Structure 1
Amino acid sequence: MYYELYVDVFFLMNFTMDTILLALLKKALACPVRYGRIIAGGVLGAVVTCVVVIWPCKTTWAKFIVFHGVINVLMLRTGLGLKWGRELFRGWVILYIESFLLGGVLQFAGQYLRQGSVFFALAVISYYVVLGIWKIILLFSEKGNRYCEVVVFFGERNCRLRALIDTGNTLKDTVSKDPVSVMDQASVKRLTEGKQPERFRYIPYHSIGKKEGVMPAFRMDKIQIIRDGYRINVEHPLVAVCEEELGSENYQMIINPDILAGGKKNGDKSSSSTSV
């Protein structure tokens, strides 16, 4: 039995689905990547899928490994920049969960819409349905609501990071009593390249395995916290510099939740600042 395959249509369908899945995963993992990179990951996934489909290989297990191993890993590495190891495996698992959810929504709606021309509109609608389902899941998961994207502004530079909103972070400046967030040293160096902070202050802290210590801190121009479809702008927040790794979940900043109370919530609009 022979089938006719329209490669252009097949490519567009795969590109649409791959891009939607990566966009959903960006939300789920709060990955600090732009949508241009996600589109690149979708294009790569669709291209490799087309190549594998027309590949004259009759070994089923070889194509199975490529489909479920190589292609997905390439998409995750290219589209979201996930690192090898635990982070990549976690993204791979969530990608399949999203695939099942998205496939279920498409199958349910497809029985009422038989026209193939509405596929792309249906795919976009399915994205928002699955995003809503995912938010409901995160609503019952305290850990899921703790992660967000942040854009930190200092001088003419800004840096997009993954952050943890830590209710256990009660650091405050002893003089101004302002809440203090924490950023890893590598991100601070990248952000302050070419312009050094004018004034440092030192924040005392206590942690497990170390009775006490101090961290240098200075004021950023602004932090923009991207959460639940909104951008919360916090002007001139205090940020301490941590010389050690912040955690094993690949986040670069710990947000003191007290700064959210003083933030200004705006609609989800793109920043006009120059990106690093």
Structure 2
Amino acid sequence: MVNFTMDAILLILLKKLLACPAGYGRVFAGAATGAAMTCIAIVIFRKTPVLRFVVFHGVINVVMMKAGLGIKWGRELFRGWVLLYIESFLLGGVFQFVQQYIRRGSMFFLLAVISYYLVSVIWKIILFFSEKGNRYCEVEVFFGEKNDRLRGLIDTGNTLSDTISNDPVSIIDRASVRRLTEEKKPERFRYISYHSIGKKEGVMPAFRLDKMQIIRDGNKINVEHPLVAVSEEELGSENYQMIINPDILTGGKKNGDKSGSSTSV
């Protein structure tokens, strides 16, 4: 139970930091997996500390992140592994600090909860001073009877807008659109023309979602009928499925902005 509690806290913190779309049920299942594997490893490798060390830090934590957060193999998993240990050191330090004032052993779970909230505050302070770290968010998108939770990137370089409505345009990957629409083409859509680095001109099909919720730093921003363009290519190597136009966060419109144009279909 002690190991499960600490693993759950670390995974919840990592979920927020990486803006992973995994639900809390999956997070707790990942924590339970990590706790069970730890107990088994302690018994099996009790006489081989070197092998136990390798299993603890090279196998169990990776399995726990995969099971609890669904992080893909590669760069994002390595990034999550590094952040998990930074969290662990930070949580351990905060836990010891709080323990000075609450000495009863039976108060462990209270200590853990207090430490979680203190570490959350510290992370928010770090993110406040780190623009890059604050660029990621969770996004829940709704279309018809379907909804999906994605990882989003708030990109200040995305100035794409619709010249008909002047609405800011976000970009969503094709695989997510397929899940939302079940391969059915939306009744009304248009083409948005754009230009980017390495590509002078191109067009993307665009349509309106019913609703979008942007979850950032524990707060939810509701956006009704946002305009999204469908990317034909993979968006990036850091495991995000949507590029959020920052003007959506302020509800702004780009009057007179010609960075994007559209053609109704």
Q: TM range, normalised to the smaller chain?
A: over 0.9
In terms of mean alpha carbon deviation, does 51-60 or 92-101 score higher?
51-60
Q: Which residue of 2 aligns with 1:266?
A: none
TM-score, scaled to structure 1: 0.89
Matched, 1:66 2:58: no
**1:262 Cα offset (Å):** 2.5
CA contact (8 A) 1:174 1:203 kept: no
CA contact (8 A) 2:45 2:52 kept: no
String of CA shifts for 1:172-226, please: whole Å, max 9, x gaps.
1121111110001111111111653111111110011111011110000001000
Counterpart residue identity of residue 22, structure 1: L
2:236 paired residue among 235, 239, 247: 247
CA contact (8 A) 2:208 2:226 kept: yes
TM-score, scaled to structure 2: 0.93
Q: Percent identity?
A: 75
Counterpart residue identity of residue 99, structure 1: S
Q: Which residue of 1 aligns with 2:257?
A: none
Q: Which residue of 2 aligns with 1:272?
A: none
Partner of 1:218, secondary structure, is: strand
CA distance in 1, matches of 2:184, 2:215: 25
Matched, 1:133 2:87: no
**Gap change, CA 1:185 and 1:43, over 3 Å in 2:** same
1:171 paired residue among 160, 164, 170: 160
CA distance in 2, matches of 1:16, 1:228: 22
CA contact (8 A) 2:15 2:69 kept: yes
CA contact (8 A) 1:150 1:163 kept: yes
Equivalent residues, number: 252
Matched, 1:180 2:162: no
Partner of 1:175, secondary structure, is: coil
**1:56 Cα offset (Å):** 5.3
**Gap change, CA 1:56 and 1:246, over 3 Å in 2:** closer
1:75 paired residue among 52, 64, 75: 64
1:90 paired residue among 75, 79, 85: 79
String of CA shifts for 1:149-180, please: whole Å, max 9, x gaps.
00000000001000011111111112111111
Counterpart residue identity of residue 134, structure 1: W
2:104 paired residue among 112, 115, 134: 115
Runs of 4+ in 1 over 3 A off after TM superposition: none
Where do 5+ consecutive residues of structure 2 fail to align?
253-265
CA distance in 2, matches of 1:258, 1:113: 46
CA contact (8 A) 2:45 2:51 kept: no
Q: Which residue of 1 aligns with 2:247?
A: 258
Q: What is the CA RMSD across the aligned residues, in angstroms?
A: 1.2
CA distance in 1, matches of 2:199, 2:99: 58
